[in-house]
Chain A
Amino acid sequence: MNELVVMLFTFGCAAVTLAAIIWVLLFQHSRFEKKYRASLATVSAAVEARTGAKGHSDWIRKLSDQVARSLKCSKHQRKCIEIAVYVREIGLVTVPYKQLRGKPRNQWTVEEWKVFDRHPEVGASMLSLVPALERVAHVVRCHHAPYSGTPQSYLPAGAELPIESRIISTVNEYVERYCSQGSVLARDVLIEQRGTKFDPKVVDALLSVLTSPGVKRRLEPTFKP
Chain B
Amino acid sequence: MAGRRMRTKAEISELGWSGIAVAAVALSALLFGLPTDWGNAHTALFAVGCMAVAFSPRMQMWPSWPHFHSATLAVAAITVGVQFVAPFAFASALCGTLIGFLVIRRKVSFIELVSSAAGPTLKSVLCTAVFVLTSDGSSTASSPVTQSLLFLVAWHTISAIQNSLVHPPVSRSLADGRIAGFTVSLLDFSSNLTAAVPLSAIVTEQSWFYPIYLLGPILSIYWVTAMEASSERKLSEGVLMLHRMMQTSNPKSMRHMKRVAEYGRQTAIKLGISEGDADLVEVAAIVHDIGKVAVDEDILDFPGRISQEEMDHVRTHAAIGGEILGTVPAYHHVATWVRHHHERVDGTGYPDSLAGEAIPLESRIIAVVDAYDAMVGGPDADDWRSYQPRRTTDEAIGELWRCAGSQFDETVVAAFTETIKEAKPI
Contact = CB atoms under 8 A, between A and B. Distances in A.
**Do A and B interact with each other, yes or no?**
yes
A38 B64 contact: no
Interface stretch (B18-26, B68-76, B320-328, B412-420): B320-328
Contacts of B329: 38
B424 to A, nearest CB: 28
Contact of B234 (A23, A36, A101): A36
B298 A42 contact: no
A17, A38, A132, A133: most-surrounded residue (chain B CB, <10 A)? A17
A101 B299 CA distance: 14
B297 interface: yes
Contacts of B213: 9-10, 13-14
A26 interface: no
Interface string B299-322: 000000000000000000000100
A17 B237 CA distance: 31
Nearest to B237: A130
B228 interface: yes
Interface stretch (A43-51, A62-70, A208-216): A43-51
Contacts of A126: 241, 244-245, 248
Nearest to A41: B327
Contacts of B224: 20, 23-24, 28
A179 interface: no
Given A32-B227, A131-B64, A38 B293 contact: no
B183 to A, nearest CB: 13
A196 interface: no
A80 interface: no
Contacts of B163: none
Given A10-B213, A98-B296, A90 B231 contact: no
Chain A interface, DSSP helix/strand/loop, else mixed: helix
Contact of B327 (A28, A45, A50, A129): A45
A23 B290 CA distance: 37
Interface string A103-132: 000000000000000000010001101111
A129 B244 contact: yes
A204 to B, nearest CB: 33
B230 interface: yes
A42 B240 contact: no
B68 to A, nearest CB: 15
Chain B interface, DSSP helix/strand/loop, else mixed: helix
Contacts, number: 136
Given A40-B238, A93-B245, A46 B290 contact: yes
A40, A47, A87: most-surrounded residue (chain B CB, <10 A)? A40
Contact of B237 (A49, A50, A132): A132
Nearest to A32: B231
Nearest to B299: A97
Contact of A49 (B217, B238, B293): B293
Contact of B217 (A17, A87, A98): A17
A39 B227 contact: no
B235 interface: yes
Interface residues of A, number: 44
B291 A49 contact: yes
B223 A49 contact: no
A16 interface: yes
A21 B237 contact: no
Contacts of B294: 46, 49-50, 97
A206 B172 CA distance: 46
A203 B221 CA distance: 47
A93 B293 contact: yes
B52 to A, nearest CB: 15
A127 B220 CA distance: 33
Interface in A1-29: 6, 9-10, 13-14, 16-17, 20-21, 23-24, 28-29
B381 interface: no
A49 B331 CA distance: 18
Interface in A45-89: 45-47, 49-50, 87
Interface of B: 63-64, 177, 210, 213-214, 216-217, 219-221, 223-224, 227-228, 230-231, 234-235, 237-242, 244-246, 248-249, 290-291, 293-298, 320, 323-325, 327-331
22 contacts: A14-B216, A17-B216, A17-B217, A20-B224, A23-B224, A32-B230, A35-B330, A36-B238, A40-B237, A40-B238, A41-B238, A41-B327, A41-B328, A43-B242, A43-B245, A90-B241, A93-B246, A126-B245, A129-B244, A132-B64, A132-B234, A133-B237
Closest 8 CB pairs of A and B: A39-B238, A17-B216, A20-B220, A93-B249, A32-B231, A49-B294, A36-B234, A13-B213
